[in-house]
Structure 1
């Protein structure tokens, strides 16, 4: 019985360690990065998809995205410990030693970079590495300086479909690819601002500038969120014109953009945490629905 209990304890301990390292990779964000990359890959492939290259792109992108998320948590471990929503993350909660955390994150980043160079192409690797550098080198420190970090952070957030497109055809010159970038860029700003407005006291207590300066009643936050939501409408139309998509995508894409805008306007009118929460949920639904619209258009 004692041996059985010891074995069970060891298994539970190993499982807990694996779970903590998995949490360190920000799995939700990493999966979203992979989904955006795949949309770019499929659209950039044209008439024929190279599934072998696609698989390599998935592996390499996962490694570098997971490493980037882990390194972000390493850099912000002390500040995460000051916020309720992040205090129980593995590093601030001391479930993973910071030295082990940084070794883990950098290993994933450079393994992913090398994998993309060798198994996909250098351009796709370059886009992914640029994503990492902007996210960690500019966006992460800027969060403690200015709310402009939201716009800067939207750049690496919008680069995964560019990386996917580059993985498919080795080019970053196609207009359809940059329209995909635009959709994710202008989606991300209201998404982040809705979360920032909901958690503004938590962010402020940790020294993060996640809402515009002196925006006590949310006027600036509502303005920039609504502006980005409005811009999604012409970008959706241009996707129909320049990315080889049909009326199926145009109809669904416009519908989703208008619904998203509706919740943005509701937040702009009321500017409460309740309406910010509704905008956040609308943003969580919007992007996967748009990607589904792309795949429905292409394959059905």
Structure 2
């Protein structure tokens, strides 16, 4: 029995060969086709997809993703250059400084971020429109011919659509998150820069002064966004920016006068071969910066330390302008240009560090502790004044003069005309 159950070696080898044969040669393959599918590695219960098609689809997806990333980098670089990102960041810094100065003792950091974001978008739109309008001029200048539009890296309709969308979004952001006054200043500044200053560059040298007004509005925008109103103290930083830009641009126009001539721009330096008028204008506006530190102290915006630091800083930049006036060379102009680059961040940092918040809580607490007999005695002392006594309460009397009276000390275009109100 056991002997019949045992297989001979030859029969045993046949059985092993039978079960080791591939599915296509297996004797059960014709009768059981599902077993052949079970042996296949590429089979699935629902469908059969080849490995080549899967790898082709994955390669196609990866190539599309790489193209999308490369396209995003290309347009991101174009938008960065169209926006003049470094210049726009400087505009944002001045607007943020104005916001902090106008906030008083408590700074709304959320509002500061919204204001800086809206200002950045509006500044980017203005710079982009400037390049759209000056594409032919930029193509003739060495320092601008590699910009996206002259180089053909982006089309004019695309750049105009980018500028319009960003400008509208930035203005809407300021209107919703700050106030309508700040949004109106932003929109007006964009129009002034793109549609007044830009064409004036090809018409008359007065464009430099118009451009200085454009650069002076952002800190005023920040102040208005924080406080909701415009006061006399809000004009200190805009006045500094206005007068600072004149020597800054004069030095740049003197250094790049050949490039500006090739581009067709009408700058003062092109009509001044000797450079005397250019250097004199730069020196005069540097001297206009001297009283600003005193005005900031006198009007209660900053402490006396800022008055001292601002005076020393302004005298330093005035010294470089005077050196350029005496020796009208490229080296002296570049030295004044570098001094102007250093002046603005130091001035704004000092103004922020030494600013006075104007907290009147101590005065209010003291006024509550005044006794009633003292108040009665004060009322008795004031009775003759109400009975028609001669009171000298004019603006030019012995009392302290209002801050607006000091506006006539220098020709500040941003300060109101002094008004002296006499009592009747």
Indicate whether the TM-score tops 0.5.
yes
Q: Select the residue among 167, 186, 208 that pairs with 1:150.
A: 208
Deviation, structure 1 residue 16? 2.6
In structure 2, the residue matched to 1:49 is 107
- Number of residue pairs matched? 298
Distance 1:158 1:228 in 2: 14
Q: What is the SS of the residue equivalent to 2:290?
A: helix
Cα gap change, 1:202 to 1:12, in 2 (>3 Å): same
In structure 1, the residue matched to 2:133 is 75
Q: What is the SS of the residue equivalent to 1:298?
A: coil
In structure 2, the residue matched to 1:118 is 176
- Cα deviation, 1:193-224, whole Å, max 9, x if unaligned, reads 10000000110111101225631101110111
- Cα deviation, 1:238-268, whole Å, max 9, x if unaligned, reads 1221252002211221221111111111111
Q: What is the SS of the residue equivalent to 1:91?
A: helix
In structure 2, the residue matched to 1:210 is 267
Distance 2:215 2:108 in 1: 25
Distance 1:92 1:134 in 2: 24
1:1-300 equivalences under 5 Å are 11-172=69-230, 174-212=231-269, 214-298=271-355
- Cα deviation, 1:272-297, whole Å, max 9, x if unaligned, reads 12211111111111101111111221
Distance 1:237 1:113 in 2: 35
- Cα deviation, 1:26-65, whole Å, max 9, x if unaligned, reads 1111111111111111111111112221121111111111
The worse-fitting range, judged by mean Cα deviation, of 119-128 and 237-246 is 237-246
Distance 1:45 1:293 in 2: 17
- The answer to whether the Cα contact below 8 Å between 1:200 and 1:211 also exists between their aligned partners in 2 is no
Distance 2:162 2:250 in 1: 30
Deviation, structure 1 residue 12? 3.8
Distance 2:140 2:131 in 1: 13
Greater relative CO (CA pairs within 8 A, separation 6+): 1
Deviation, structure 1 residue 3? 8.5
Distance 1:128 1:5 in 2: 43
- The answer to whether the Cα contact below 8 Å between 1:175 and 1:243 also exists between their aligned partners in 2 is no
Q: TM-score, normalised by structure 1?
A: 0.94
Cα gap change, 1:122 to 1:211, in 2 (>3 Å): same
Q: Once superposed, which parts of structure 1, at least 4 consecutive aligned residues long, lie more than 6 Å away?
A: 1-6
Greater radius of gyration (CA): 2
Distance 1:179 1:223 in 2: 24
Deviation, structure 1 residue 17? 2.2
Cα gap change, 1:22 to 1:243, in 2 (>3 Å): farther
Distance 1:98 1:217 in 2: 39
- Cα deviation, 1:121-152, whole Å, max 9, x if unaligned, reads 00011111111111112111111111111011
In structure 1, the residue matched to 2:27 is none
Long gaps (5+) in structure 1: none
- The answer to whether the Cα contact below 8 Å between 2:257 and 2:270 also exists between their aligned partners in 1 is no
Long gaps (5+) in structure 2: 1-58, 357-424
Deviation, structure 1 residue 21? 1.0
